[in-house]
Each structure stands twice: as structure tokens, then as C-alpha cells.
Structure 1
Amino acid sequence: MIVCVCHRVSDRTIERCARAGHAFEDIQLELGVATQCGKCECTARNIWSECRSVAPVAHLRNESQPRVAMEMG
């Protein structure tokens, strides 16, 4: 659904940005959400708040490839 009519930003776009760890202010700057008429701000912030990443994402390593040990000698 379109959340920000002025800039045509959907709930899915806000969700994707929030899950990627973007601050709400970053979404405003990049997409223009809640920067014109302001009617969407409450809804946009609620979506962002529900979807943002709370825990950091672990860095995964492909264990199927051999590790190269660098030795200082």
C-alpha cells in the first residue's frame, strides 16, 4: 500500500529500508517520506519501528572453502 502519497512510497519500501538498518531520518532524506504534507509520518514511523533490525546481523563465512592462514614469519 502507498503510505506517502506525495512521494509515492509504499509500506514495503519503508519495511525494506528499516530491515536494512536505515534510520528513519535516512529514509526521509532518500525517499522524501513525511517531508511534504506530513500526513504519512505517523504511519511511516510505525512501520519503520515494527520492522527495524533490533539485533545486529551475524557475519557468515562460507566454510566449504579452505581457509588461508596468513603467518607472519
Structure 2
Amino acid sequence: MGICDTCGNVYDNTFSIRQGDRQATYDSFECAIQGFAPRCAHCGCPVLGHGVEDAGAIYCCGHCARSKVLKDNH
């Protein structure tokens, strides 16, 4: 039995995700997304695909990346 790091649910089918030194245990993909996915630097939504990286920040899409750059230049 594992314990989900996002919701605290005790579940017999948990799974772990590791990225570098970071590791977490989840009971569902929903909790994994909430707990592990990076957030868009513009709108804050979880980035589930490849995303767009610029100057060390990650964005969910080109629109958000362009919006952030335009906002910073005004």
C-alpha cells in the first residue's frame, strides 16, 4: 500500500515518478499532473505536452510564450 503525495489516499496501485533528484508517489494520473507537471509561466496551467521553453521558463503553448514576451516588453 502506497500513499499519494498529492491527496494522501492510501492505495494498493500507486506509482512513482522520478525526474533527477525529485521523486513522488501518486494514486492516479490526475494527482500526478497536479503534483508533478510544470506550470505555464504565463497562465499557470499544467504543461502536459512538450510545451515551449524560453529563457528558462516553460509555457503551455506558443500563444502564452508570445503573450509573456509581449507583456514584458511593454
| TM-score class, shorter | under 0.3
Q: Tell which structure's C-alpha radius of gyration is larger.
A: 1
Length-normalised TM-score, structure 2: 0.21
Structure number with the higher strand fraction is 2
Length-normalised TM-score, structure 1: 0.21
Structure number with the higher helix fraction is 1
Higher RCO (CA < 8 A, seq sep 6+)? 1
